[in-house]
A and B are shown apart, each in its own frame.
Chain A
Amino acid sequence: MRELIKKCVRQYKKSSLLSPVFVAVECIFDVLIPFVMTMLLESGIKQNDIMAVVIYGLLLVGMSLTALLFGALSGAACAKASNGFATNIRHDMFERIQDYSFEDIDKFSAASLITRMTTDVNMVQNSYMMIIRIAVRSPLMLLFGLILTISVGGPLAGVFAIVVPIMLLGMVFIFKKAMPIFKRLFKRYDRLNIVVEENIRGMRVVKSSVQEQKEIEKFTSASQDVYNDYTKASKIVVLSNPIMQLCMYIVITLIGFFGARMIIGTSGIALKDTQLSMLITYSTQILMSLMMFSMIYVNVTMSKASVDRILEVLNQQPSIKNPLNPVMTVENGSIDFENVSFSYKGKGGVKCLEDINLHIKSGETVGIIGGTGSSKTTLVQLLPRLYDVTEGSLKIGGLEVSKYDLTALRKAVAMVLQKNVLFSGTIRGNMKWGNPDATDEEIDQALKLSCADEFVYRLNGLDTHIEQGGSNVSGGQRQRLCIARALMSNPKILVLDDSTSAVDMNTDLKIRQGFKEFIPSTTKIIIAQRIVSVMDADKIIVMDNGKISAVGTHEELMEISDIYREVYNSQQGGGDFDGENQ
């Protein structure tokens, strides 16, 4: 926690410090109030002094209002500090994640990053709020209460020597006993949720296989497990209630009895009868604070896991960085792989690409074919340095990719990813991702080239609103918009990673013809499942198991490559009905 606080508190340091200070002031007044109250009763009633009642009364009201003011101030400071702290953490995490390479993103996974930025940050914020407020308040209340009890009641404070250990032992017992059950409980909850999740998702399977009854049995047993453990754990945890009451009652009884003896024994000199209820008030406060503190302790302990997960994100060094004196322009779209090997796990890991040697001239159209797991995608992701080669060298425009400025390189190598997304906003806004300064004419041109113009203008033109993820356009339309977006930056190299699978064959053809005609100098790399999509390429690469199995034109490959022929034959007459004929 300390490391995180040091990193992210920044401008909220003042509030973070003010909050405990204000709380301390509030505490002092809160503790003094019963003390002054005794004076009021003593002088006001015993001495029949109305003036004293008024003066002490005013003093007390003043004190409560001061306590109220400081309490409120501390509450406000605490809100500011803890929210600011959380805001800074989120900011830093987001900033750091922006620098992540693909490798780093893979390492965490998008889902886990989201959890870390939301749930974990929340957890930490709550702990922080407790630390700078309640964690200060409780021990102070305890301390001041104890001091005043000793100063007023003297030996009576001894009761705490009896009660506090009981309470602490009780808390430790509860913590020790309940923790393992809770840990197990979380797993049981997971199991329960998995059953529900799989059931809902697979409802058609459940119904088709007529397995409703079996599912109910599965769920009932999982829910019985949760019930058993939850009940067991709760029964331990709620022991804190009777324990707390027991302690309270012991204190009241002992203070009552020994207090009475003290008052009578010294004729009200060592202890006044008015002070008795004050002592009881303090003891309530002391025990409550103790309880509160132990709860905070548990909470902060539990948030440690979240802190660790956040720090993991913040401390991850981006694995791909800009070179020192970067080259800012990419000359042309030629590509040279020389003995390139790649492993997602770095040197010594399982090689996904092995001994890749490939030379592509600027302006060529290159098709890539291969089964799932043949590393087609991996190969092209090396081009814009989404991953770095593990061994060998990769040159673009005659220069090692690592020499270029990252932004310059990625603008020059436009990728249309396989799992592509559009972002919520207008079509225009999405297109500007490719080139922030693009005019509507330029956007039109790109849309025309990707054959997206006709449906865009049937909708609301460039102002058409796109839902998050692009869910309000069909798969084929989304793919064409993604291609247009990639064209916006006038790339030297354009990579389409299975980007026309949902586009019908005619449109697919039209797009490819357009490329040939309008962006002849751009190197085009097309990964496809359908042979027809790459048949007319200058060069077709057949990938198999991370290796280049064959390179050649369609005709050549039909001669030399068994894999190619096999795929070709299996697709003969393999028209896709799913393409959207427009």
Chain B
Amino acid sequence: MAKINKKKPNTANTENLNNPQYVVENSQDLAQNGGENKESKNKKMYKGEDRVKKAPFKTLGRIFKFMLTGKNTLIFIASILCIVLSSYASVQSMAMIEDLLIEINIQLESVKMGLSEAVSYSGILRVITTMVIIFVIGVVASYLQNMLYIELAQRTIRDFRDTMFSKMQYFPVRYFDTHTFGETMSRFTNDVDTMQDLISNSIPNIISSLVTITVCLIEMILKSWQLTLVVLITVFLMFFVIKGLGAKSAHFFIKRQYSIGKLNGYIEEMMSGQKVVKVFCHENENQANFNVINEELNENSTKANKYANIFMPIMANLTYVQYVLIAVVGAVLANYNLLTVNDTTVSYSAASIAVISAFLLLSRSFTRPINMVSQQFNAVVMALAGAGRIFDLLDTEPETDEGYVTLVKAHYNEKGEIVEGKVGDWFYAWKHPHGDGTLSYTKLEGHVLLKNVDFSYDGEKQVLFDITVDAKPGTKVALIGKTGAGKTTISNLINRFYDIDDGKIRYDGININKIKKEDLRRSLGVVLQEINLFTDTVMENIRYGNPEATDEQVYAAAKLVHADDFIKRLPEGYNTVLTLDGSNLSQGQRQLLSIARVAVADPPAMILDEATSSIDTRTEKIVQDGMDNLMKGRTVFVIAHRLSTVKNADNIMVMDGGKIVEQGNHDELMAHKGMYYSLYTGSTLE
């Protein structure tokens, strides 16, 4: 189980490479953990994609459902209205050319025929005025739409983020043990990013494209159904080109993606192992290997880009071919007087030129959004895959808590009974409501009892067998044994990170299943081997254990565990901001802070899980002193593999293969001459 605890996040996935910070993660993790989870990660990814293939509309529907709540719906409708207006304006900007040309020709013809001497611009002015009005509406609508929609989109993204994070806080520990760090992290980075793109770009673009296409189509049909037919036929033909190119390009993009993964994996592996490469003078071989992979990527990537690059000119120029066809067909139709024109105030040829001119411009406005939508298709599919993974995360079942026994501040009344309230010599007590409506109070003392506990992580492979440990208040119980013997599992069970399969765990005589989880955890301090500090001041990092602590309590806690000295020597003392997990501190100092964090919480019981094992023996001494101070008067579980740290425990449990094989204090175990003895004296076990 230690393995599960220490399981380092890892993703070899290239999707992370957009973000340098997470490349850092990957590389380090890979060096430690290799591709252990690569396969599962890939599977996961495919799962996400399958889901999208199966139900893209369902995912899309959920996004809308999430997005359109409360006044967001109104904003959304308003911005769609604005999209319609601005699309209408942009289509009209092209369509109005017909009116303009007709007005021009009316004047031209009247001048030609000598009907009037003075040229009248009133008709033209009327058209221009209409245009200006429509344009003003268009620009205003476009401005409003952008402003409104950005608010909506960003708020949605923010709410997605907040919801994801809030939900995640209440996921069971099992979730974090079975999902790698990189995996969970990329939900918050890559997946949210692609979804942001989907919501703030793709969705409005697609809506606006669809509106434009519709408005354009109506306008075109109104102008000339024959030419509309030409446009539709050519667009239909263009679809085949799009599809063919799309399939080809998708094929090479997948290949390219694979090559990128391979190359990045190689770079990560070799950069992280560069020092070993140097030690073995393996530079030339590496270069040769690298060249092969690099060339392969070059080949696949060139092909993939080729298809993407030629897509644009092909589509653009096919639009020109379409353009030409419209002109030719229009001209031929006009020639045989077959082209329908709506205006009869001018000569037929002038009217048909007006129609064709407007149509040419319209056809471009029609085809452009079609190209745009088809190009965005891939991005949408990718984004939906990401969104699907986000919903997977949101759908994760939170940790359940049926506990009803709570921790309250209490004191003794005159009769010597415990009653609630922070009066005089107050202390903490368990408040235990019973079925019959009565309440009982039990003083918090830190008595932890495990009785006949069985446990398995997966319901199949049992890892703990019939464990019985009785840690009386104020005693020190040590759990020792090899990696994998089941020590850490026990600590996971006491604070209910996992629930036991069989047996009982009682805290101060109360079954821990009945205790509200947060109160149970508040009454247990935990110091882990892996130290996690937060980007904040030293003061806040210590206070993390107990947000209610005053500055004085923080100082006192730091003094108690001998951390005060070094903190005072930091550039800004307690106000020094720790960054990057406290990387500017030594391992021992970091551990002292994490011990101070527990000290300030002042719990009656503590679990020290390999708290000193990553520290060398000399530094350990300093940390040990701090820890000894803290342990006084508390129930302590010490999990360790270094025997020297557990020697003075009241009860030492020697674990092997999920069972307790020996127990007793140091002297008893030495006298027993079993496993403990042989390890302690260094004699062989066999």
Contact = CB atoms under 8 A, between A and B. Distances in A.
Contacts of A203: 173, 176
B124 A257 contact: yes
A249 B306 contact: no
A567 B647 contact: no
Contacts, number: 509
A194 B188 CA distance: 11
A281 interface: yes
Given A231-B154, A273-B108, A372 B27 contact: no
A248 B131 CA distance: 12
Those 4 A-B pairs whose CB atoms lie nearest each other, nearest first: A71-B313, A471-B34, A75-B309, A202-B532
Most buried by B among A70, A197, A436, A580: A197
Most buried by A among B17, B331, B616, B686: B331
B561 to A, nearest CB: 16
A324 interface: no
A417 B279 contact: yes
Contacts of A196: 165, 185, 188
Given A114-B27, A276-B104, 5 more contacts: A40-B331, A41-B353, A87-B294, A201-B9, A208-B526
A267 B110 CA distance: 11
B274 A110 contact: yes
Contacts of A326: none
Contact of A274 (B27, B189, B263, B353): B353
Contacts of B291: 91
Nearest to A244: B142
Interface stretch (B376-384, B638-646, B657-665): B638-646
Contacts of A115: 20, 23-24
22 contacts: A45-B331, A48-B349, A87-B297, A97-B274, A100-B278, A111-B23, A114-B23, A115-B24, A117-B267, A133-B309, A202-B534, A209-B521, A209-B601, A211-B547, A252-B93, A260-B103, A273-B108, A273-B350, A276-B100, A386-B278, A469-B33, A578-B613
Contacts of B470: none
Interface residues of A, number: 165
A574 B644 contact: yes
A75 B313 contact: yes
Contacts of B147: 235, 238
B305 A82 contact: yes
B579 to A, nearest CB: 9
Contact of A249 (B103, B138, B274, B331): B138
A78 B268 contact: no
A411 interface: yes
B31 A210 contact: no
Contacts of A44: 327-328, 331, 334-335
A423 B269 contact: yes
Nearest to B285: A436
Most buried by B among A102, A205, A570: A205
A197 B185 contact: yes
B139 A193 contact: no
Contacts of B352: 45
Is chain A's binding surface mostly helix, strand, loop or mixed? helix
Nearest to B188: A196
Interface in A545-582: 563, 566-567, 570-578, 580-581
A367 interface: no
Interface in A439-496: 467-472, 485, 489
Interface string B122-152: 0011011001100100110011001100110
A410 B279 contact: yes
Contacts of A350: none
Nearest to A277: B357
A162 B30 CA distance: 58
Given A205-B528, A219-B162, A472-B34, A245 B642 contact: no
Contacts of A211: 544, 547
Contact of B617 (A41, A226, A571): A571
A246 B139 contact: yes
B21 A71 contact: no
A265 B119 contact: yes
